[in-house]
Amino acid sequence: MTLALEAVQVTKEYPSPSGDGIITAVDRMEMALERGEFVALVGPSGSGKTTMLAMLAGLLAPNSGAIRIAGQDLTQMRERERTAFRRREIGFTFQDNNLVPYLTALENVEYMLRLNGEYDRPGRERARELLVRLGLEERLKSLPRQLSGGQQQRVAIARSLINQPTLVLADEPTASLDTERAFQVVETMAQLVHAENRAAIMVTHDLRMVEYCDRVIQMVDGRLERVLSTREDITCLVNPALCERIPLAVLGYEEDEALQVQYVEL
Amino acid sequence: MSNGFHLAWLEVWRNRARFLLFSLVIALITLLILFVAALGEGLGLGNREYLQKLDADLIVFQDTAQLQISASQISPAQLRAIRRVRGVDAAGAIAFAGASIPRASAKPMDISLIGVEPGLPGAPPVLSGKTLYRSASDEVVLDAVVAQMAGLAVGDRVTIRSIQDDRETLYDLTVIGITDSRKYSIRSAVFVPMDTWDRIRSQAMAGGSNMTELPHNIAAVRLADPTQADEVRQALLEQVDRVAIADRQATWENAPGYSEQQSTLNTQRGFALLIGVLVIGGFFQIQTLQKVGQIGMLKAVGTPNRTIAVASLLQIVLVTAIGVLIGGAAALGLAQVFPGNVPIVFTWESGLAAVGSIMLMGPLGGLVSIRYALRVEPLTALGLSA
């Protein structure tokens, strides 16, 4: 069976700001996702996870390596083909500027149908149902500014799934939410990804959010550091107080004071 | 296309207060451009209206006058010679002077006092009453604006005031006819027979002349065959001493200050248009800068550049069109309440030219913002740059 996503030896290099060298943002990353998998991509700031996400989305071309989504190599596509491929096969949620501010919640979701030429009665019904499933029945006609941060993220999740894409990419979807709403959003996302049999990657630096993920891929300095794939390992990562096998220091978080404080609160 | 329209329309409609405010700015610029155009037309018409409506094909000037009416003097001898030239159907002497009509409850109304020869080119046709038919009579034909502003009708007596030496002198004449508006030198016209004109005109103008024959400013020549204008022009130059010939258009274009006035107003119109382009361009550029993240997100989710371009262009055209409509309507409304003596004339030609130029130049100003929007990288949605 074709993998939903396969990244092989993906490398991205930039010229250094001083101009006398090269910075390797992503170094020979490997990654594979099956349909129905919800994976967290974690790592400290500057570890290359957002750059990796941009390459997986076809927004940034790697210097070397291959990225295949549903068996099709993004790196071999022309710009136009990639744009068309993105709107068919990839769903997005972002940290900011997630929704079109002058479209209602329903219109934001329906916009993807319009882009794909599927703005018909069944499509519109699907959009409505998706939002209802996400608890937004009363807010279908609300503009983004009339929605809370959590509601906006739920609309974005609905938009990312409406076209039944192969891959859903979420860039720090909980960054601007309080803890309670952040958990709700990730839990909802996980449920929908599993229910709709999509593959999803969520970039986050908040380790508490990986609780609902099937796997955790950790990047450090542009490289794949480790993959946690058992429930036990992931639980340890989320709640290190219960587990000494994966100390935070190993994951490279010991210098991040904000995260340390969050763990103390837990 | 339809996605672009969908985005453009909903953005404008759901932010209608902001876009309306901007349309009002465009409306004000439109109003300014239309008024400058109307002023240009009004002043131009005020200078040339009589000459434009003249029933003549050629105008004869004194050769040294450089086609300046006020500097030109055509003698009766020259006039007679003109009439003898083959191909000349009729030639009428015309003389111009300034005078005024005193009004009981308002300032005296300045007029162009135009001396003509009854029945010859230069004498105006009438809308009501009779044309001038006798020389040396105390009869006048008023143009319609004079009649309206002075409250005069056929059969009324009109008083014309002129300065004789250093004294103000009043002449009572009878209105025998009303012609349509025939402004000259920005003033509405009163037509009198040539001998009457000579009696009324300011004697300071005569310069203490002791000439026995009355000189005129120009001669209006009607040709037997207008297609023979070049030949007759050549014959006039050969057979009449010391004259210069022009057609009507060259005559008004040589009127003192006419070209300068028109070019000044055209420059103002050009600048107003330029300001419009810059304002429209600036507004949409600022708006695009504010939307960089949103445009990046739209592109990241797969919106083609074409849709972004169509949406941006439609917005610019829509907002500009609404502004132009409001400005045009305001200009039309204001034109109705302007008094008749204000030299503002709205014509379809100049109005449509002004409106068309804004509609064309507005989107041109917005092109910069469209180009900028097209260059926004979808990567910005992830907070990255290429």
Quick: pLDDT tens for A20-41.
Answer: 889 999 999 999 999 999 999 9
Position with higher pLDDT, B291 vs A254: B291
Specify the range with the lowest mean pLDDT, choosing from A51-65, B207-221, B263-277. Answer: B207-221
DSSP lists the bridge partners of residue B129 as B177
Confidence of residue A250 (pLDDT cuts 50, 70, 90): very low
**DSSP bridge pairs for B101:** B109
Q: How far is A190 from chain B (nearest CA, A)?
A: 20
**Cα(A247)–Cα(A259) distance, rounded to whole angstroms?**
13
Query: ∠ at Cα A121 (A117, A126), nearest 5°?
Result: 90
Report the 10 Å Cβ neighbour count for A9.
12
pLDDT at A242 over 50: yes
Give the integer Cα–Cα distance in Å for A103 and A44: 35
Query: Percent of chain B beyond pLDDT 70?
Result: 96
**Which whole number is the average pLDDT over B142-148?**
92
What is the total residue count of chain A? 266
Q: On the CB side of B50, how many CA atoms lie within 13 Å of its CA?
A: 34
Q: Does B289 touch chain A (CB under 8 A)?
A: no
Hey, is the C-beta of B340 within 8 angstroms of any chain A C-beta?
no
**A97 with B304: Cβ contact below 8 A:** no
Q: Of A49, A41, A44, A39, nearest to A259 (Cα)?
A: A44
Residue B207 has pLDDT above 80, yes or no: no
Q: Which of A51, A83, A94 sits opposite B297 (nearest CB)?
A: A94
Contact in structure between B39 and B46 (CB atoms under 8 Å) = no
Question: Residue range B238-266: average pLDDT?
Answer: 89
**Is some CB atom of chain B closer than 8 A to the CB atom of A80?**
yes
- Is the CB of residue B302 less than 8 Å from the CB of residue A84? yes
| Yes or no, beta carbons of B11 and A102 under 8 Å apart | yes
Q: Do A54 and B302 lie within an 8 Å CB cutoff?
A: no
Return the minimum-mean-pLDDT range out of A200-209, B113-122, B208-217.
B208-217
Distance CA B100, CA B94 (A): 19
Distance of alpha carbon B49 from its chain centroid, rounded? 9
Give the pLDDT band (50/70/90) at residue A246: low
Which residue of A52, A97, A118, A160 is the best one to mutate when testing the B interface, meaning the one whose CB has the most B CBs within 10 A?
A97
- CA distances, B257 to each of B48, B134, B252 (Å): 12, 35, 10
Q: ipTM score here?
A: 0.85
Q: Choose, out of A94, A167, A202, the residue to mutate when testing the contact with B (most B CBs < 10 Å).
A: A94
Chain B residues with CB-CB distance to A94 below 8 A: 297, 300, 381-382
> How many Å apart are CA B65 and CA B220, to the nearest integer?
16
User: Hey, is the C-beta of B18 within 8 angstroms of any chain A C-beta?
Assistant: no
Is pLDDT above 50 for A266? Answer: no
Predicted confidence (pLDDT) per residue in B304-333, tens digit: 999 999 999 999 999 999 999 999 999 989
* Chain B CB contacts of A86 below 8 Å: 300-302
* For range B125-135, the mean pLDDT: 91
Q: Inter-chain contact A102–B386, Cβ cutoff 8 Å?
A: no
Mutation pick from A26, A49, A59, A115 vs chain B, by most beta carbons of B within 10 Å, is A59
Cβ pair A54:B297 closer than 8 A:
no
Q: What is the pLDDT of residues B44-60, one digit of tens each?
A: 888 899 999 999 999 99
Binning pLDDT at 50, 70 and 90, where does residue A243 land? Answer: low
pTM for the predicted model, two decimal places: 0.77
Please report which confidence band the pLDDT of residue A244 belongs to, taking 50, 70 and 90 as the band edges. Answer: low
* Confidence bin at B212 (pLDDT 50/70/90): low
How far off is chain A from B21, nearest CA to CA, in Å? 18
Mean pLDDT of the A52-61 span: 92
Q: Tell whether A97 is within 8 A of chain B (Cβ).
A: yes
Residue B208 has pLDDT above 50, yes or no: no
**Lowest-confidence segment of A217-226, B145-154, B347-356 by average pLDDT:** B347-356
**pLDDT at residue B234, as a whole number:** 94
Dihedrals phi, psi of B160, to nearest 5 degrees: -115, 135
Interface contact B378-A112, CB threshold 8 A: no
Q: Does B5 touch chain A (CB under 8 A)?
A: no
Partner B, chain A 166-225, Cβ-Cβ below 8 Å = 171
Chain A residues within 8 A of B301 when measuring between CB atoms: 86-87, 92, 112, 115, 159
Residue B6's pLDDT band, with cuts at 50, 70 and 90, is very high
Written as six digits, the tokens of B50 are: 């009589």
Q: Is B300 on the interface with A (CB under 8 A)?
A: yes
In this prediction, residue A95 has a pLDDT band, given cuts at 50, 70 and 90, of confident
Residues in chain A within 8 Å Cβ distance of B298: 100
In contact, B316 and B360? CB cutoff 8 Å: no
Question: What average pLDDT does the structure give for chain B?
Answer: 89
Alpha-carbon span B327 to B97, nearest angstrom: 40
Residue range B123-134: mean pLDDT, rounded: 93
